[in-house]
Structure 1
């Protein structure tokens, strides 16, 4: 989501749309305002202790909302609000009615979708999402699957849903020399599987480790880039480390802490295949970035991944969570250089259709349309 906001706002600025991004102050030494580039400003808002745990953020939404409202009143009018994630949606909903502004909402993940994937969220989140969806003037969906979920799970008005997929920065994420990438990362000439994502049950690192074990190749390596996230993150990290030990592949799993976004391209280029076994995924930026680098993806057949992976043409989709199924597709790619090249070339071609400038262009037109529409109303 951080990548989405940063890349989108940068592209909007380049398209002539001035934006202010409001974020909670998470460290004492952060300046009040950061001008990232012309037309792209970040405003830090005081709301709760700086070291507040993610799980406690709902308790400071009202304070955050008050701070954003004060800043908007002090520094002049804006044309629209764009909330990212449900907590920002709660803030945006109140500000909409306070200042009479249209509200655009992007949720990135949805509580009821996560619940279907056995990752339940608190009822207050479900209630908040339902309320925000009911009063948003535009609801952005990253994929047709997410649009359908908004309609069926939340009763969203189809006329207010716009499918606007994210993009990928092709200046960073593009094909490159695999041997050079491996040398830079200290990897040798052996099969390399890649997992990129937060270490939490939703992302399915356990499935990737199981797939490595099912592969049965003592030379293969799984590089897992990411760190524990959320209240269950540390426990999940310990669990997958135990799993690797139990399955006899502990020495073949390389845990890498979260990396600066632009450096991920080196990992994608170094890999033979990227494994994306998420339980749910509204879009799946990892799959798109891997495709842009020419690395085939073996992914769960869920959410936006169904759009980003053309099964059998750019990679493979897997129904269910059996590691043996993932291993079977990985094995095919590793065993057939011609297939790997064909999949990689097709993945690059597919990824070229996703650019941030296109996303920003769509949103610029949507924002302009909102200025002449009557606001959606709701009981508040």
Structure 2
């Protein structure tokens, strides 16, 4: 069996933590590996961002990453990629005409658009995962949403036209039905976690004697890291360790990192807040195990992989009661729910969890 995975901006080869590399990259990489282990031939099609990168790169057993020439071979933020999707679709159609996949697994709305244009004339079925819906983003961000105007209409068309839509939460499934997706075409499959890698037993990262709160996230405003920093002002003696963003040596030049450091100074916790920069997947379990609590406090979140990774490591969470986090984190059992954008409630939940440590 052959599966073509399409992830136009989220390459499984990307270094995580930047503004354009996060949970979707992990999802695509882990799904590709799992399919490959089952003897399925997998090609992951992603946009070329480096002119020197090989056209095809072996990624895992049975898995190859293929770089698609669509637009300048340079990093371009995803919200500016729509004009290059026709070229992306033409490349897919050429590849699939030569070696026909049995099914296309597309990820994110622009990948879905390119996949539909390429696959429909060839009669190849498509299973699409949105990862994030524009209707939710527009609702939560309002005028700050930088998505192309065409996004909402394209997502509604995809919800109706693809053969299957994979939702990661029941909340997303209801949103998809609202977009016109036939209920019988929706499969709710929550994100999984590698429990061999993320488990309570194992090495933990070095730490001080102070209670430790860990955040693992891209350094974008909607992830709520600023709210956690504000909360630390009333969580005495605890330290906050933030993993995400560019490599450590690049934090000084990163606007988001500078904003967070300035906020920490402003609320008087700069000596208790440490930004690590990007942390590799291989080091993440040890970092999570070093925490007394993990904070996942975004303003909205379709799923939230870090939450289930922390739970798999046996670490309690403070999590916003939004999107997938409202389903994956069991309030009072695996963590505590808080309203988004409420530093006071985040602080109260952290104090409660840290007071419960042995």
- TM-score w.r.t. the length of structure 1 is 0.82
Show CA shifts across 1:349-374 (max 9, x none): xxxxxxxxxxxxxxxxxxxxxxxxxx
- The question of 1:171 aligning with 2:196 is answered yes
- Asked whether 1:86 is paired with 2:109, we answer yes
RMSD of aligned Cα (Å): 1.8
More helix by share: 1
Rounded to whole Å, the distance in 2 between the matches of 1:311 and 1:38 is 39
Query: Which residue matches 1:130?
Result: 156
Tell me if structure 2 keeps the 8 A contact 1:182–1:188. no
Q: Which residue does the alignment assign to 1:214?
A: 234
Matched, 1:316 2:342: no
Which 4+ stretches in 1 moved above 6 angstroms?
none
User: Hey, what does 1:245 align to over in structure 2?
Assistant: 265
Shift of 1:92: 0.9
Match of 1:157 among 182, 186, 192: 182
Corresponding residue number in structure 1 for 2:74: 51
Shift of 1:35: 2.3
1:182-230 deviation digits (Å, cap 9, x = unpaired): 42xxx21111111111111221111111111122x1x3111111117xx
Gaps of at least 5 residues in structure 2 are 1-23, 247-252
For 1:301 and 1:279, how far apart are their aligned partners in 2?
Answer: 9
- Residue 235 of structure 1 and its aligned partner are, at CA, apart by 4.4
Total equivalences in the alignment: 326
Give the one of 118, 140, 144 matched to 1:95: 118
- Residue 145 of structure 1 corresponds to 171
For the residues of structure 1 that align with 2:257 and 2:44, how far apart are their CA atoms?
32
Which residues in structure 2 correspond to 1:1-380 (within 5 Å)? 1-54=24-77, 55-74=79-98, 76-118=99-141, 120=145, 121-152=147-178, 154-176=179-201, 181-183=204-206, 187-215=207-235, 217=236, 219-227=237-245, 234-337=254-357
Inter-partner Cα distance in structure 1 for 2:58 and 2:340: 45
- How far apart are 1:237 and its partner, in Å? 3.3
Runs of 5+ unmatched residues, structure 1: 339-380
Q: Which has the higher contact order (CA 8 A, sep 6+)?
A: 1
Counterpart of 2:4 in structure 1 is none
